[in-house]
A and B are shown apart, each in its own frame.
Chain A
Amino acid sequence: MTRTGVVGWALAAPALAVIAVFFALPVVMGLALSLTDFDLYGLADLSTVRFVGLDNYLRLLQTPPFWQALANTLYFVAVGVPASISLSLGTALLLNARIAKWQALFRTALFAPVVTTVVAVAVIWRYLLHTRYGLINQALAAIGIDPVDWLGDPRWSMPAIILFAAWKNFGYNMVILLAALQAIPGELYESARVDGAGPLRQFTDLTFPLLTPTLVMVGIMTLAGYFQLFAEPYVMTQGGPLRSTVSVLYFMYEEGFRWWNLGYASAVAFLLFLIVFAVSAGLLRFDRDPAASR
């Protein structure tokens, strides 16, 4: 090895050691755990832990509650991610518009939900969503819509969670998209106007293509985050009503920390990882060849 190579490794060693101990090791141990039947009995006496190969995974795929949790999560991702990103994009465009006043104030206000704690805000949203006293139902009543039992009706519980999550998270992407918008040179818009492009044409043929790399990045991050839905149902619904808000992660939490089937729960975690990995890899293809997305 060259001298610079040694120095490079030496300098990187502390960081690598931290990554190895706090990231690689737990991941490998988690993978190993998912191949065993570590459970309550294993916690009491390690000698009762058996190696079960891929049994946990096979059993998981035959468990209807897991599929329900996966379906709930996909519902949340499929509706929540586009909703959240369009909200971010919409507000970013508004803030970037030349006619916008008090930009800094709005930017801060819209970003505020991101820096609040989920639990505290969820409690407030539970008041907002309250069937009888909630502001949301009062507003709906004002336009003649009957009260909705947001968190008690299995048809409305997930939309309520999506609404909450989108509100909580859109500010983060908004700031990123706003920065990307501001990085688009003004001359491009000028020449577009000279060529006779209206505001819509400017958006579809100029803003959107130039934003695509940022949008893909934002999309992947949001997707990965939304697949890991947990805190919202944990605080607001405890998975109910009728298990309609049980996400994959919530299912894993119940298996792992309620019933203490840690082997089985680790298998859930790895399966979720594979799903997120596959979906993110799929999204990345858009980025590699922007022309392919048109």
Chain B
Amino acid sequence: MRPNEPRSEARRQALLKLAAGTAAFTVAGCGRSDDARGALNFWAMGREAEVVAELLPAFHSRHPDIRVRVQQLPWTAAHEKLLTAYAGDALPDLCQLGNTWLPELSALDALEPLDAPVNAGIARDDYFAGILDTNVMPTPSGNRLFGLPWYVDTRVLFYRSDLLRAAGHAQPPQSWAEWLTAMRAVRQAGGGRSYGALLPLNEPDPLYALALQQGALLADNDTRGAFSEAPFRRALGFYADVFREGLAPAMSAAQISNVWDEFGRGLFAFYVSGPWNIGEFRRRLPRERQADWATAPLPGPDGPGFSTAGGSSLVIFKRSPRKAAAWRLVEYLSEPATMQRFHALTGNLPPRRSAWRSAELATDAPSQAFARQLERVRAAPKIPEWERIFQAMQLAAERVVARTQDIDEATTQLDAWVDALLEKRRWLRARAQAGDGRR
């Protein structure tokens, strides 16, 4: 043994490095290690995953001991990937999760409740209430917060202010009645060549937003459909009337080759859409049209109405061995300053009111309509089956618009389908109640 000999020392170093490399490789290959000091695995989706890397240097300089490995999932495959990862015990430490998927993963008991750390350091009432509520799930031991909203998504009215003015309406409509009047006026002013609104038949969100303004869509603790009850029928009635009067073309998005072109050309004056379209309208509408579009909160049955509470949350998985470090990252990404940078990078709207005080957001007229709408959003039913029901609802609406069924028939049939789908929930509930009784 001649430890001082430089060549042998160099070889020892090289061997150590190799061993370390192999170990790191093995850890990465396994996907899960119980080493609490390993790198954080963070799954993010689509565009957000590309951008989040730019937010990390500041985090690393604040927490030099925590390394973060971001993995990008395409949105189209993310859902399957998460479920199979759960089944295979290969979930990451934390993840960006569309908030409609929270009920599913909380039903699987895969998520870590965040109540304690949030109460210790984050003001809940700074979040838009309807958005935060999408992250609160019922558990046997009461309601728990399972995620923190990262960015929000809701639906508002995009409209052509010039067409509306030409038709004699200076202000965007606030109620359903005003909206109908405005659409009729636009149709008349356009000489029948233009429509009041574009509500693509394959998109459930507009009808769903109208419906949640009216009341609950599920009954009996979310174990039965309530689509044949008055609230949903009123919404579907309004929706179907818009098509029957010819105020909206009965088309799916695929049939309109380019929504922005058609909007610029004035084929329709109203379009119900989400925050990403602020950027798209700025990019895709010609310069001379830029002064002619605006956004407004969604009209309700009698006055400003509620809209959908969408977006993505940050969640920590229960089986992660690095929850404390994961929480540091969630905390950092949830700071108003980080959210503002995130908005500058992506156009995603922040879920915290304090983040909206940045000069950029506070003075941006199209975004402000979203700020007002976000005060009036309602969470979707918190059951894993909701996404399926949501799609089935739109298929029923399509049949009503195509007049293959009337509202009675379509909603009764939808309820029967939903009731069959939720049979397992009723059984689980009955079982849980019987269990409680025995105890």
Contact = CB atoms under 8 A, between A and B. Distances in A.
Interface of A: 37, 39-41, 43-44, 48, 50, 152, 238, 240-242, 257-260
19 contacts: A40-B104, A40-B107, A40-B384, A41-B107, A41-B428, A43-B108, A44-B107, A44-B108, A48-B428, A48-B431, A152-B254, A238-B76, A240-B254, A241-B252, A241-B254, A242-B252, A257-B83, A258-B79, A259-B388
A50 B84 CA distance: 21
A150 to B, nearest CB: 12
Nearest to A262: B87
B318 to A, nearest CB: 12
Given A43-B87, A48-B424, A48-B428, 15 more contacts: A37-B424, A40-B83, A40-B104, A41-B424, A41-B428, A44-B108, A44-B109, A48-B431, A50-B427, A152-B254, A241-B254, A242-B252, A257-B83, A257-B84, A258-B80
B108 A39 contact: no
A25 B349 CA distance: 51
A19 B215 CA distance: 56
Contacts of B86: 43
A142 B196 CA distance: 39
Interface in B67-83: 76, 79-80, 83
Interface in B380-423: 384, 388
Contacts of A260: 83
Interface string B426-439: 01100100000000
A263 to B, nearest CB: 11
Nearest to A253: B80
A40 B108 contact: yes
B424 A39 contact: yes
Nearest to B83: A260
Contacts of B87: 43
Contacts of A258: 79-80
Interface string B284-311: 0000000000000000000000000000
A52 to B, nearest CB: 11
A37 B424 CA distance: 9
B203 to A, nearest CB: 13
Contacts of B254: 152, 240-241
A257 B79 CA distance: 9
A258 B107 CA distance: 15
Nearest to B87: A43
Contacts of B431: 48
B104 to A, nearest CB: 6
Contacts of B83: 40, 43, 257, 260
A81 B86 CA distance: 39
A43 B76 CA distance: 22
Contacts of B108: 40, 43-44
Contacts of B388: 259
A94 B197 CA distance: 58
A36 to B, nearest CB: 12
Contacts of A48: 424, 428, 431
Nearest to A44: B108
A260 to B, nearest CB: 6
A240 B76 CA distance: 14
Nearest to B425: A41
A238 B84 CA distance: 19
Closest 5 CB pairs of A and B: A44-B108, A257-B80, A152-B254, A40-B384, A241-B254
Nearest to B398: A242
Contacts of A50: 427
A48 B429 CA distance: 11
Contacts of B428: 41, 48
A258 B104 CA distance: 11
B291 to A, nearest CB: 30
A152 B251 CA distance: 13
A39 B252 CA distance: 32
B52 to A, nearest CB: 26
Nearest to A42: B424
Interface in B101-148: 104, 107-109
B127 to A, nearest CB: 28
Nearest to B431: A48
A242 B200 CA distance: 13
A242 to B, nearest CB: 8
Nearest to B81: A257
Contacts of B109: 44
A158 to B, nearest CB: 16
A127 B424 CA distance: 44
Contacts of A39: 424
A48 B425 CA distance: 10
B110 to A, nearest CB: 8
A48 B432 CA distance: 11
A258 B391 CA distance: 13
A241 B424 CA distance: 31
Contacts of A241: 252, 254
Interface string B83-104: 1101100000000000000001
B275 to A, nearest CB: 24
A264 to B, nearest CB: 11
A198 to B, nearest CB: 52
A43 B108 CA distance: 7
Question: Which residue, A41, A48, A50, A240, has most C-beta atoms of chain B within 10 A?
Answer: A41
Nearest to A242: B252
A241 B384 CA distance: 25
A244 to B, nearest CB: 11
A39 B424 CA distance: 9
A77 to B, nearest CB: 26
A199 B388 CA distance: 59
A213 B34 CA distance: 58
Contacts of A242: 252
Nearest to A45: B109
A50 B423 CA distance: 12
